[in-house]
Structure 1
Amino acid sequence: MIVFPNAKINIGLNIVEKRPDGFHNIESCFYPVGWSDALEITVAENFTFHADGIAIPGNPSDNLCTKAYQLLAEDYILPPVNIHLLKAVPIGAGLGGGSADAAFTITALNTMFSLGISLEKQQDYARRLGSDCAFFIENKPVYCYDKGDQFEKMGLTLEGKWIVLVNPGLHISTVEAYAGIKPEKSEADLRELLKQPLNTWKDQVKNDFEKSLFPKFPVLGEIKETLYKHGAGYAAMSGSGSTLFGIFEEETDLTTLFKNFKVWQGTLK
């Protein structure tokens, strides 16, 4: 079976408070985008995991795809499989690429072997692998809260709008990103702000990480400014960085403008 784990963007990201367990409670909208990896799972004599494309740091035994298989194998009888991942979504880029790979491993195994795992239980397995993994099980726009692993359906649709994602190649760790954050309650309800027209979001829908990361990495602010300059209705950093995105009303090819960076652009669904 071959599946294509897609990335997501954060539209708005408020860091609300630090939790007793060391994590942070957040408020954000997760929205799926088309930038994808490719993941192939086949039955094999022994379990193996192999990755091509963008180099993935760490031991293959620690990869989230491997952990997803092992998690299901604790509760279900699974044959050995070979997992082959072609990595295209940048790592440490605020796009949830690794989380998507893990979630798609769960959904693919469920389908391949007719495990009959409910949507809710698949999300529970995914939550054990990472805060935003569960989002990719259903893979639809949601308002998220707590650690980013609890969801509320929302009516936001950007279908037909054009998105440009720009990644300057910086790897910003979660620890580094949170080091500059001072959590505080939101002044406005993000769900209400996102009901307003796209062109009103610029001064109201914010990513709290930008305040501390833009001075540290000036290129991030420069990319955001360039996206606005070339007609984006809304532009922001996704997650804890370092990818910036711009949402446009009409198709806008910016590949030559950002020729030194990784760029993905396409239509939102």
Structure 2
Amino acid sequence: MLVFPNAKINIGLNITEKRPDGYHNIESCFYPVGWKDALEITLDEAFSFQSDGIEIPGNDADNLCTKAYHMIAADHDLPPVKMHLLKGIPIGAGLGGGTSDAAFAIKGLNQLFDLKISFEKQLEYARRLGSDCAFFIRNEPAFCYEKGDVFEPINLELKGKWIVLVNPGIHISTVEAYSGVVPKRSEEDLRNVLKQPIETWKNNVKNDFEATLFVKYPLLEKVKTALYQQGAEYAAMSGSGSTLFGIFDKETDLRRQYSDFNVWQGLLN
């Protein structure tokens, strides 16, 4: 079984309040993009997990793919498998790469062993592993709220637009990102703002993390400004950073301009 977990971007991110459980409530639009990892799951004599590509910090036992396997194995009679992950999506980059891997592990195990796990149960498993993990079960554009783990469909059509993602290699932890944020209710419903032409988003669709992280890491703001100068209709930081993205009306190749960084570019679906 070979699956290809993809990244996502946040189009707008409002941090509305801190919850009693220590988490934050947010509002955002999650949109899938084509930057991908590769996860192979094969039968083996004993469970194992290994990875290549971008180095993943921590122990293999703590990897979300490993946790996904053992979580499902606790409810189903799973045989041992070998999981091999080729990591291409940058880590700590606001792209959801780790939680996407976990969600695709859930879906892959369900398909490989014909477990007939319902969609709702897959969502439940995913929510145990990370706030945005459940998004990748359906893997379609969605408006998210509460901890970022409750979703509703959003009619946002960007198919055919060209996107460039620029990751300068700055690792920003979730704790670091939230430490500088003062939650506040947004003045306008993000869903309504996103119904307006993309040319209007520049002044109205915000990522609340940018205010403090741009001060701490000026390079991030420089990249965002450059993306607009290079013709982006909309540019922003994704999630809690450090990836910046620009959405363009036509194919745009910026790999030479950002040759020192990790860049992915392609069409939106």
TM range, smaller chain: over 0.9
2:173 partner letter = S
2:164 partner letter = V
Partners of 1:81 and 1:175 lie apart in 2 by 33
2:143 partner letter = Y
Aligned partner of 1:46 in structure 2 is 46
Pair 1:103-2:103 in alignment: yes
Partners of 2:255 and 2:119 lie apart in 1 by 38
Q: Deviations over 1:99-157 (max 9, x none)?
A: 00000000000000001111111011000000000000010000000000000111111
- Report the alpha carbon displacement of residue 228 of structure 1 after superposing the two structures with TM: 0.1
Partners of 1:66 and 1:216 lie apart in 2 by 34
Pair 1:236-2:236 in alignment: yes
Aligned partner of 1:13 in structure 2 is 13
- What's the TM-score, normalizing by structure 2? 1.00
Partners of 2:85 and 2:137 lie apart in 1 by 18
Aligned partner of 2:29 in structure 1 is 29
Q: Tell me the SS of whatever aligns to 1:201.
A: helix
1:237 partner letter = M
Aligned partner of 1:198 in structure 2 is 198
- What's the TM-score, normalizing by structure 1? 1.00
**For the aligned residues, what is the CA RMSD?**
0.4
Structure 2 gaps, min length 5: none
Q: Sequence identity, in percent?
A: 69
Partners of 1:140 and 1:119 lie apart in 2 by 14
Aligned partner of 1:165 in structure 2 is 165
1:261 partner letter = F
Partners of 2:211 and 2:221 lie apart in 1 by 10
Partners of 2:118 and 2:189 lie apart in 1 by 31
Aligned partner of 2:249 in structure 1 is 249
- Equivalences for residues 61-140 of structure 1 within 5 A: 61-140=61-140
Partners of 1:116 and 1:144 lie apart in 2 by 26
Q: Tell me the SS of whatever aligns to 2:202.
A: coil
Partners of 1:262 and 1:156 lie apart in 2 by 27
Partners of 1:258 and 1:2 lie apart in 2 by 31
Q: Tell me the SS of whatever aligns to 2:122.
A: helix
Q: Tell me the SS of whatever aligns to 1:251.
A: coil
Q: Tell me the SS of whatever aligns to 2:204.
A: coil
- Report the alpha carbon displacement of residue 23 of structure 1 after superposing the two structures with TM: 0.3
Q: Tell me the SS of whatever aligns to 2:126.
A: helix
1:250 partner letter = K
Partners of 2:68 and 2:158 lie apart in 1 by 31
Q: Tell me the SS of whatever aligns to 1:128.
A: helix
1:135 partner letter = F
